[in-house]
Structure 1
Amino acid sequence: MFDLPLLTYVATMSVTPGPNNLMLAASGVNFGFRRTVPHMLGISIGHAVQVAIVATALAWVLAWIEAARPALVGAGCAYLLWLAWRQARAGEPGAGGKSRPLGFVGAALFQWVNPKAWMMVLNVAILFLPRGGGWQTAAVLAVFCAVINLPCIALWAVAGDRMRTWMQQPRMLRLFNYSMAAMLAATALWILAGEMLSKA
């Protein structure tokens, strides 16, 4: 039903840098791969649910997105800045304490305010949903996207997990966490700037 161009698009959008993948790499470094699995599953399942809903109600969603865009961008950027602050304050190597990885529900809900996720979902629904496809076709498309998405984003968590051994020195871990926090904050500010420029 779905072809190579869809697979290529979903894989490319899933594996390229973005808020989800930066957070997964940071979680892999700070908590290891196993504790990052709920975060990864939350992203993939949240993405699939988002694809299914958007593909099912595309016309309504497109009109709503345009009206809700400023609020979504604001909420998404505020959340990214909060995550950047949280990342900068992440714990020392091996520290249990209060620090925890983002869980399944938080990761799934984040897809609804993640600008990259919205761009990906809307493009998938517009470009790859067959004409006349109902909710059943949208559900199959959603499962297909989740199956492609999960191994692509897992690469980031695995990379973070592998870097964990290099980050056992508190100074190196702090430098990594500050760098990841700065990239998340820069992403949020870049999105906000682009939104303001598009309105000018």
Structure 2
Amino acid sequence: MSLDVLTLTLSIVPYIVVMSITPGPNNLMLLSSGVRFGAQRSLPHMLGISVGGAVMIVLTGLGLLELFQRHPLLQQGVQWGGMAYLLWLAWQMTRAPAPQEALEQEALVPGGAAQQPPGHAQGASSAEALARPLGFLGAAAFQWVNPKMWMMALGLLSAYLPPGQGVAAVALVALVFGVTNLPCISVWAIAGQHLRHWLQQPARLQAFNWSMAAALLLSMAPVLLRQ
């Protein structure tokens, strides 16, 4: 079956935009990162999401989708593991320092920006993880435990990709995802940056951190409802 590039692209872009720009674990983490570190220093985090998601789509399209269809329990295991990790992230968000405090703490932590998800770097304490922006590799790795990214990848490949397509079609979907996703998620980091000054007051910061933690927990609802 021949691949209609234009038709496929036009059909998946609206889906990617909606899934990318609506609240979810990635965007809530970027909003929080924008508050603490600014949009520019959150750029590796954003690139990790877009590139990591694209790689995930390619690998899923080349075999993981069929594997999950044959073994549903495997997919459920990945989803539950991801949700457990999101619970840990929500708890960490409630303890996030003020923007100025984060910069001061990072200056005391050797090694520069983190390259692993919070709590995954060997020997890294929770305080150190909170004091540094998430790096490219950490953000890319996080997509494999992100329930919303799994929903997006599986939805793209099962609902939009015509049957009988090969590597080229899967690569096209991944490319369109990466190009479309990046500007959508950057909105959240930029929004966070604009909130930095307003959140210097402890009461406002505490309310923001707990709101982000609650929103992160609510972002798991669609996955739970699909169980």
TM-score by length of 1: 0.88
> Please, which moves more after superposition, 92-101 or 149-158?
92-101
Matched letter for residue 147 of structure 1: V
**In the alignment, what sits opposite 2:67?**
60
Q: In structure 2, what is the equivalent of residue 172 of structure 1?
A: 204
TM alignment of 1:77-156, pairs within 5 A? 77-95=83-101, 96=103, 97=105, 98=128, 99-156=131-188
Q: Report the Cα offset of residue 193 of structure 1.
A: 5.2
Q: Which moved more, 1:72-81 or 1:168-177?
A: 168-177
SS state of the match for residue 131, structure 1?
Answer: coil
* Aligned partner of residue 29 in structure 1, secondary structure: helix
Q: Which residue of 1 aligns with 2:25?
A: 19
Secondary structure, aligned partner of 2:165: coil
Following the alignment from structure 2 to structure 1, what is the Cα–Cα distance between the partners of residues 212 and 15?
26
Contact 2:30–2:42, Cα closer than 8 Å, also in 1: yes
Q: Deviations over 1:112-149 (max 9, x none)?
A: 12111111111111122233321122112211111001
User: What whole-Å deviation, never above 9, does each CA across 1:79-113 have from its counterpart, x for those lacking one?
Assistant: 11111111111112312213112222221112112
Deviation at 1:4, TM superposition (A): 1.9
- Structure 2 SS opposite 1:35: coil
Given the alignment of the two structures, is residue 50 of structure 1 paired with residue 56 of structure 2, yes or no? yes
* TM-fit CA distance, 1:191: 6.0
Unaligned runs of at least 5 residues, structure 2: 106-127
Whole-Å Cα distance in 2 between the matches of residues 192 and 4 of structure 1? 26
> Counterpart of 2:162 in structure 1: which amino acid?
P
Once residues 62 and 35 of structure 1 are traced to their aligned partners in structure 2, the CA distance between those partners, rounded to angstroms, is 39
RMSD of aligned alpha carbons:
1.9
Cα contact 1:44–1:150 (8 A) shared by 2: yes
Count of residues in Structure 1 that have an aligned counterpart in Structure 2: 194
Q: Which structure carries more helix by proportion?
A: 1
Report if the CA contact (8 A) 2:9-2:173 is conserved. Answer: no
Deviation string, structure 1 residues 54-92 (Cα, Å, up to 9, x no partner): 12223234324x121332122111111111111111112
Identity, % of aligned positions = 46
- Which of the numbers 69, 72, 75 marks the counterpart of 2:78? 72
CA positional deviation for 1:161: 1.0
**TM-score, scaled relative to structure 2:** 0.78
Q: Hey, what's the Cα distance between the residues in 1 that align with 2:76 and 2:159?
A: 24
The answer to whether 1:29 aligns with 2:29 is: no
